[in-house]
Structure 1
Amino acid sequence: MIARHTARLTALAAVPAALALAAVPAGAHTGHTAASGSGDTYQIDLASLNNSGAKGTAMLMLDGTRLTVKIEASGLVPGQPHAQHIHGSTDGHDFHCPDASADKNKDGIVTTAEGLPVYGDINISLTTKGDTSKKSGLAVDRMPVADKSGKLSYERTITVSQEVADHIKDLHVVQHGIDPNHNDKYDFGKGKSELDPKLPQEATAPTDCGMVQGAAVGSMPAGGVETGSGSTAGIEAPGLIAGGGAALAAAGALTVARRRRAHLGDNAR
């Protein structure tokens, strides 16, 4: 009986990552997948913010301090650049994706400034080339652009700090750019951006967000509440509208394996 269960576990572990991916829930984690070569892979389901209708899936594949990020998103503003970042803390604070309660001035939009205290400051700017620091937070000439159907595909491998590698499960992905009046462009229908009054709020407001495992919604941050600095310094982008750029693990298997191991222990007794 034990040998038969062991064989089943071995077969389960050999299921290709490509087949397991379709069944992996948000925030799932597995180690040593084919996709990452050697290392850990984390899936993030991107959920709509600001009633944008945007959604997608991101994969973070970490091998040492080499991080490969893949994003497939849809429901974005067609033909427009979408700033995107990895947010959160590398010192144990528990940030998470915001909800409508983050809209402090009750204007119907969770802005970037209102979202920062909830999802934390920028750790990595997911640009298509060049610098990936906070300073490139809205370097939209190097951010991916949605196609005419509002779909966006992104992939890049970068070197990250050891702190980011050690705390990757505490981080999350946020994309920006909304179209509340559905005219397929950024305009001033929702007023000016707090980042730069020359820019419309639509261009900089978050459109979707997804968490890696570890950031529990509504939990108290370790060490007390932190605001993620709340600062917008370093992410201004006067060329946001004119700019543009070139434009996803086996948690289910892990759960099954744990249940089978528990069953093995019962049979052994």
Structure 2
Amino acid sequence: MITRTGRRLALTAVPAVLALAVGVSSPASAEEPEGFQINLEQLNDSGSKGTAMLSLRGKELTVWIKSEGMVPGQPSAQHLHGSTEGHDFHCPDANDDTNRDGILNNTEATVDYGDINISLTVSGDTGADSGLAVDRMPKADAEGKVSYKRTLTVSQDVVDHIKDLHIVQHGIDRNDNDKYDVEGAGKSELDPKLPQEATAPTNCGMVEGAAVGSIPVGGVETGGGPAEDAGTPRALMVGAGGGVLLAAAGSLAIARRRNALVATRTRNGGGAA
């Protein structure tokens, strides 16, 4: 009689788990955001690194970035580069320094990572024309860390080709004086009114198509604190698949605890609960 009770409890949990699994693929799940993680790796021996997360719900794209090793107190131009027409672009490396001057400038790197698709400004326009709007780009703090979050409306082309895009941040300090100046690397080839240090890429990361379930629960690991400080929701870090597994584990755990309690009471001469 006790064994049958335990079996009934265990079997009761199974339909609940299956119902949750079916719910993930139901029409309501279409409202869940699609998420991606990007690991930002240094360019130009900058020492800069970071992590970015993209959350796409319909045509609403939310971008979180946490990076370190940036030039303290200086603005960091940042963009989504790449193609929405199926072209294959990727992050560059030191071999793309075609003039062999020791600095990978933006023009040299663009051959690899493509033109600007979205300018990741803190306010206002996000088009390619705002690529050098340094007054509307995020500034690194005194420790050279950047924390950024913004939600914007994107085109259907971006939605369809989100995995073909990647993030690039700009700004290096060639002469280690904690500022952008022409003494470090001369004038920018993009705008002679800007130092080369302000426009040269400092890191790059490609959208690899990682599911939200693979994003570390610990947040963006750049030494800048948990991602929630920048508004990163826990739901994005866990993902729909993780939610089903947690719910399933919870249901089975309850059944097991119930079975153990019944068995203990039987051994002690008590009745079933």
* TM-score, structure 2 as length reference: 0.66
- Counterpart Cα distance in 1 of 2:106 and 2:195: 12
- Counterpart Cα distance in 1 of 2:202 and 2:172: 6
- 1:131 correspondence with 2:120: no
Aligned mate of 1:55, from 27, 49, 52: 49
**AA aligned opposite 2:202:** T
Counterpart position of 2:192: 197
Query: CA RMSD for the aligned pairs?
Result: 2.8
Flag structure 2 segments of 5+ consecutive residues without an equivalent. Answer: 1-9, 210-231, 246-273
1:140 is displaced (CA, Å) by 1.1
Q: Deviations over 1:120-174 (max 9, x none)?
A: 0000000001100001001111100000000010000000000000100110000
Residues 107 and 133 (structure 1 numbering): CA distance in 2 closer, same or farther, change over 3 Å? same
Larger Rg: 2
The within-5 A match list for 1:1-269 is: 38-188=32-182, 189-213=184-208
1:182 is displaced (CA, Å) by 1.3
> SS at the partner of 1:203?
helix
After the TM superposition, list the runs of 4 or more consecutive aligned residues in structure 1 that deviate by more than 4 angstroms: 248-251
**AA aligned opposite 1:109:** I
| Bigger share in helix | 2
Flag structure 1 segments of 5+ consecutive residues without an equivalent. Answer: 15-30, 215-247, 258-269
Q: How many pairs does the alignment contain?
A: 196
1:100 is displaced (CA, Å) by 0.6
1:187 is displaced (CA, Å) by 1.3
**AA aligned opposite 1:114:** E
Q: Deviations over 1:67-94 (max 9, x none)?
A: 0000001100000000000000011111
Residues 66 and 52 (structure 1 numbering): CA distance in 2 closer, same or farther, change over 3 Å? same
1:250 is displaced (CA, Å) by 6.7
- Counterpart Cα distance in 2 of 1:40 and 1:198: 40
- Counterpart Cα distance in 2 of 1:109 and 1:103: 6
1:198 is displaced (CA, Å) by 2.5
- Counterpart Cα distance in 2 of 1:67 and 1:98: 25
- Counterpart Cα distance in 2 of 1:202 and 1:37: 42
Residues 204 and 167 (structure 1 numbering): CA distance in 2 closer, same or farther, change over 3 Å? same
Q: Which range is displaced more, 193-202 or 145-154?
A: 193-202
**AA aligned opposite 1:63:** R
Q: Could you tell me the percent identity over the aligned residues? A: 64
- Counterpart Cα distance in 2 of 1:153 and 1:114: 27
> SS at the partner of 1:96?
coil
